[in-house]
Amino acid sequence: MSFNIETINKRAKEDPAGFARECEETYSQKVSEAATAIERGTNRVVFLSGPSGSGKTTTANRICTELDRRGIRAFTISMDNYFVTFDPKMAPRTPDGELDRESPDCLDLALLGEHTKMIERGEEILKPYFDFKTQSRDMSKAVPIKVQSGEIVIFEGIHALNDILTESDPHAVKIYISTQSGIEKGGEVLVEKAWLRLMRRVVRDEAFRGTDVSKTLKMWPSVRAGQKAYIAPFKHKAGIVIDSSLAYEVPVIKHIALKAFERVSDDPTGILAKLVPALHEFEEIEPEFVPKNSILREFIGGGVYKY
């Protein structure tokens, strides 16, 4: 599926509020369908996976909100908590010798698998805490969690559909989310679907994670390589697939992204040579039209969820 820039610009100019509302209603329907599938299941555990910039955290929270509305207590566990303490001597490497931070070996998947089994049995787990500043696990901040009968926990992370986890709980509901709709002009691709995730990440990382755009661009090839090697091979396991692309998002993010890209002196990806001119072709939509619970808030800020 692809969006059309002519339609996007027409709606953005004539009725930005209605355009945003319709896009969000489409996404809300996907959330509702996922909640229904979970509600009909018998397992306590849900796995939600997708590449960086897909909106996993917001989607997991939105599903929990919908389940809560239906009288089912639900909460999320970020798999980032299961990172292992960083050791450069033991850390996984790419074929060219660089640190491979996308590898599932950066996570304690064995512990994750054991915790999902314990949750299904109604046993208490001690959720670890990973300190990104020190790049180490801090068990003094670990949190005990016990999921009662009828309650749901969503494990969300890029490796949530890895065989180690899905085989430990084969009947769990499995969800895959990504931007799956690019933008066309005259039948030709103008903005690739992966570029939507790149823009989201650039905007978020610079504003909220202290990572400047040049560093994000430098990491992007390894992020994409990690997606192809470690995420895509498992996406077929998902019974639910969510397209997190929003037709109105480029008009919203355009201004912020362009300001960030202006500060780039060298683009190792070569993407900006095409992306920047493309962005100038879009009308703008003010962020005020973006709902507080939108996945876009995960990247531009001002949302109701904590990240």
Number of neighbours of residue 26 by Cβ within 10 angstroms: 13
Alpha helices, H only, the chain: 5-14, 16-40, 56-69, 109-120, 163-166, 193-208, 213-226, 249-261, 272-279, 297-300
Asked whether residue 1 carries a pLDDT value surpassing 80, the answer given is: no
CB 246 within 8 A of CB 39: no
The pLDDT score that the predictor gives to residue 30 is 97
What is the model's pTM?
A: 0.94
Question: Does any domain span residue 53?
Answer: yes
Q: Give the pLDDT mean for 261-270.
A: 91
Task: For residues 112 and 102, give the distance between their C-alpha atoms in angstroms, rounded to a whole number.
Answer: 17
Name which of 9, 53, 86 is nearest 224 in CA terms. Answer: 53
Asked whether residue 169 carries a pLDDT value surpassing 90, the answer given is: no
The count of domains in the chain is: 1
Question: Does any domain span residue 295?
Answer: yes
User: Which structure tokens are listed for 108?
Assistant: 């304690």
Mean residue pLDDT of the chain comes to 94
Question: Does any domain span residue 267?
Answer: yes
113-151 per-position pLDDT tens digit: 999 999 999 999 999 999 888 889 999 999 999 999 999
Q: Give the pLDDT mean for 227-254.
A: 97
Asked whether residue 209 carries a pLDDT value surpassing 90, the answer given is: no
Q: Give the pLDDT mean for 247-260.
A: 97
The pLDDT score that the predictor gives to residue 21 is 98
The pLDDT score that the predictor gives to residue 259 is 95
Domain harbouring 190, CATH code? 3.40.50.300
Question: Does any domain span residue 209?
Answer: yes
Task: For residues 75 and 143, give the distance between their C-alpha atoms in angstroms, rounded to a whole number.
Answer: 14
Question: Does any domain span residue 307?
Answer: no
Assign 307 to helix, strand or coil.
Answer: coil
- Structural domain boundaries enclosing 206: 2-300
Question: Does any domain span residue 16?
Answer: yes
Question: Does any domain span residue 306?
Answer: no
The pLDDT score that the predictor gives to residue 222 is 92
